[in-house]
Structure 1
């Protein structure tokens, strides 16, 4: 918690106030272990604030859960973003039955964040998507995939065309994807979004 607050330049007192608690709430948690664990609502709000998984703040994963690494990669739904590296932010989990229904296999699926508006209305800026890295061959019907074009990672609709992949955006107002060879990273199989 100390490292997180230092990196963000915020105080424990300010975060306590954000949670609607007294100014000493998080200071006592960090220094004295009181309370022993953060309330679920407080933990969720802090995890959202820091952009980390709740498990890093002491949340127990659900018993019947399929773990998914959450990477510090934004799949641009705009002009594309360059990736220097793929840093693990933490691990999230989905129900095992859902993972089985989606056909996910351990080590072959990740969670990434969408950036931009070129895939609206289906995907909007800030959405978290589950990407199945085992599915890298679009057919003629196509689907939504995370791709890399000229070093930029983006989420686009991709289908197999005559001798090449056809890459498009869902938002008709979006500029066309850049030219270049398309590397398919994986298929988007699930959208993790709170109702809007």
Structure 2
């Protein structure tokens, strides 16, 4: 079984995946694969988990501890990608102070859809919107996908997740007429707008490229 753990660890490293992301792929908690590889628990992979991982890494189930069989064909172009949901909220109000941004769950998206969206699967994550300052564009409880490659170096007009004074916020950013100046504001007119903000005072986490919402009205 040590050979199976070593093989799985090699496969994860070769694809530059993380233990948490692979755990999410098989619907397990974020530390499941790390515990399997590093601590030996569980003693062996569940049959369904092994089948999913063998298909994902395009190897035989035998290499992951299963019965002998031919290698599986590479996963098709439209295979599902697990995108981590971070255990933080992006305030669309007055800001929220959060702890470490760790994956608490995941959502699966078709790889072709993500490619058409123009994002890299290993450079995106999802958080929940908190507050009403971006209503009606974004509502309290919405899930938003963040492109972490689309940050300060590519900033342009749009909706961004940013960190300001240790608060994680979701705001609309508009490029000002002077170099290095931004306007940061809310779509809800009841909330304040900040003009001529020094871009160096803001840490851009990434651009919002997608949102999901339950069928409810914004308050």
Which residue matches 2:186?
A: 169
TM-score, structure 2 normalization:
0.58
* SS of alignment partner, residue 107 of structure 1: helix
Matches of 1:108 and 1:97 in 2, distance apart? 15
Within 5 Å, which residues of 2 pair with 1:29-48?
none
List 4+ stretches of structure 1 deviating above 4 A.
Answer: 177-180
- Which among 206, 210, 215 is matched to residue 186 of structure 1? 206
What is aligned with 2:134? 119
Does 1:147 find its partner at 2:119? no
Deviation of 1:195 after TM superposition, in Å, equals 3.0
Structure 2's unaligned 5+ residue stretches are 1-23, 30-47, 53-77
2:95 maps to what in 1?
Answer: 80
Report which of the two structures shows the higher radius of gyration computed on alpha carbons: 2
Question: Do structure 1's residue 96 and structure 2's residue 103 form an aligned pair?
Answer: no
CA distance in 1, matches of 2:194, 2:109: 31
Per-residue displacement from partner, 1:6-44 (whole Å, max 9, x unpaired)? xxxxxxxxxxxxxxxxxxxxxxxxxxxxxxxxxxxxxxx
Q: CA deviation at 1:91?
A: 1.9
Backbone CA RMSD of aligned residues: 2.9
Displacement of 1:176 in angstroms is 3.6
Gaps of 5+ in 1: 1-51
Query: May I ask how many residue pairs the two structures share in their alignment?
Result: 143
Tell me the SS of whatever aligns to 1:82: coil
Q: TM-score scaled to structure 1, two decimals?
A: 0.64
Q: Distance in 2 between matches of 1:82 and 1:89?
A: 18
Deviates most, 157-166 or 112-121: 157-166
